[in-house]
Amino acid sequence: MDYLAAKFSGDLVIVTNDGTKFQILAKHLRIEKKVHQLFNGIETGFLNELLKTSIPLGLKKNKLTIGYVGRLSWWKRQDLAIQAFSRFKALHPEISAELLFIGGGEDEQKLRALATTENISEHIKFLGHVGGDTYINALASCDVFLFLYDASNLGNSLWEVMLSGRPVIARSTGDTQLVLEGKGPLIVNVDKNLDEIVSALSRVLEDPGHLRKMAADGRDFVKGFLTSWEVRVEKELRLIEQAILDRAKERADA
């Protein structure tokens, strides 16, 4: 901890707020007064493209496509999605359900092996890394998204999904629940078992009206919450300018 305190010994610490509770470390190191957490911004043109995506009116008859965005890495917890999806399939054999992973990474073969073990590999697709129109079309092809990351779910992948008008089921890790409670997504706690994920997916089937409300509320929230990168950088520059002025005043008063 002494090393970390020394590393943060400057006048100002600006960190990206990704929901991983950096404020707890800052308080422990007694540097909370100099720490400012800023959420990422979004490119304006890309934002406008996401907003063109229509919120789905309802589920296709007996079909459900579940999306999952993120690098295929251990802490993004695609394994939880596969296991929950397997239980959901067993509970709802009448539904033609598919799980779509958007993103690539080092854990792909492990996840494919898990899907085979769960006997659901034919119902899971790995799209890999995609961008531009291909990415937006992939988002639009899904009925609901899961975000089950370990540390936190608050990042641009989540914001982009919500801006595309897709409902979200999110795990209550980090500051996820603090930021998103009542803002559209269903928040689940899966530290003990996967039942809450399966129940949330079942609710999606039973209440399409609620699904649309989740999507609309989530989109409206992120539109008001997230800024452009230009505004985000301007906030950072103002903080730096103020820190310089404060330091100059201290020296003048000394």
pLDDT of residue 153 exceeding 80: yes
Question: If you average pLDDT over residues 193-217, what whole number do you get?
Answer: 91
Higher pLDDT, 154 or 32: 154
How much is the pLDDT for 107? Answer: 98
pLDDT one-digit tens code per residue, 54-95: 998 777 778 999 999 999 999 999 999 999 999 999 999 999
- The arithmetic mean of pLDDT across residues 127-134, rounded, is 95
Distance of CA 48 to the CA centre of its chain: 19
Of 50-64, 77-91, 126-140, 205-219, the range with the lowest mean pLDDT is 50-64
Per-residue pLDDT, 82: 98
Q: So what's the pLDDT on residue 8?
A: 66
Task: Report whether pLDDT(104) > 70.
Answer: yes
**Which regions of 136-178 does DSSP assign to beta strands (E)?**
144-147, 168-171
Are the C-beta atoms of 229 and 41 separated by less than 8 Å?
A: yes
What are the residues whose beta carbons fall under 8 Å from the beta carbon of 174, sequence distance 6 or more?
Answer: 18, 19, 20, 21, 151, 152, 153, 154
Local confidence band at 209 (pLDDT 50, 70, 90 cut-offs): confident
Residue 121 burial (CB < 10 Å; 0-12/13-18/19+)? Answer: middle
CB neighbour list of residue 138: distance below 8 Å, 6 or more residues apart:
67, 100, 102, 127, 130
Q: What is the pLDDT of residues 231-240, one digit of tens each?
A: 999 999 999 9
Matching CATH number, 47-225, of 3.40.630.180, 3.40.50.2000, 3.40.640.10, 1.20.1440.130: 3.40.50.2000
Q: Is the pLDDT of residue 3 over 80?
A: no
The model's pLDDT over 161-181, given as tens digits with 9 standing for 90+, comes to 999 999 999 999 999 999 999
Place of tokens 């000394």: 254
pLDDT of residue 5: 54
Angle between helices 195-206 and 208-225 (to 10 degrees): 110
Q: What is the mean pLDDT of the chain?
A: 92
Question: What residue spans define the domains of the chain?
Answer: 2-41+227-248, 47-225
Query: What per-residue confidence (pLDDT) applies to 88?
Result: 97
Q: 102, 178 in Cβ contact below 8 A?
A: no
pLDDT at 1 over 70: no
Q: Provide the pLDDT confidence category of residue 204 given band limits of 50, 70 and 90.
A: confident
Predicted local confidence at residue 147, as pLDDT: 98
**pLDDT confidence band for 249 (50 / 70 / 90):** confident
